[in-house]
Amino acid sequence: MDRDRGGPLTTRAHLHGMLRRVNGGIVQERKPLEHLLTERIPSTVCRDRSEYRFDSVVLRELAVLLPPALRQRAMLPLLFFVDLDDGERCFILSADTLAILRAIGLFRGPHEVIDRRLYLDRSVADSFIARFPSLGQVAVVPGPD
């Protein structure tokens, strides 16, 4: 008899499987903004092997707002992570993402860093995606064990 039937391990495994499906549309490979600007049809591949297309007009809109050095370092799409246990905040893993958010005026305040994760209010991610559709994604991650 399976001692874990319906127990924490089974539930956790089921949760991870669901999150893999939910996050299937998250890009597998981020690309440099400068490279995307040169592509006729800027795109990359998602984890589920589907194509992820960037809007060329929106790419150019972001590019003109960034200082040259940051524009060269910018990797897209920006990735924001939301913990299942805390939907009010999101976190990012890149200092360049934070620099981009500051450069375009979407984030001015302090941020909290826990285990190399830079925590921000979820509204920052929502504002970026609303302003620059196709240039940001939100991935859902499980909460702490």
- pLDDT of 15 over the 70 cut: no
What mean pLDDT value characterizes the chain?
Answer: 89
Token pair for residue 72?
């060269």
CB 115 within 8 A of CB 83: no
pLDDT value, residue 100: 98
pLDDT value, residue 90: 94
pLDDT tens digit string along 111-140? 889 989 999 999 999 999 999 999 999 999
For 54-119, give the DSSP string.
PPHHHHHHHHHHS-HHHHHH-EESEEEEEETTEEEEEEE--HHHHHHHHHTTS--S--EEETTEEE
CB atoms within 10 A of CB 21: 10
CB 52 within 8 A of CB 44: yes
- In terms of Cβ atoms closer than 10 Å to its own Cβ (0-12, 13-18, 19+), residue 32 is middle
Q: Kindly report the pTM of this predicted structure.
A: 0.86
CB atoms within 10 A of CB 3: 6
Identify the H or E element spanning 52: strand 51-53
pLDDT tens digit string along 53-68? 999 999 999 999 999 9
2 or 49, greater pLDDT: 49
C-alpha closest to that of 111 among 133, 136, 86, 94: 94
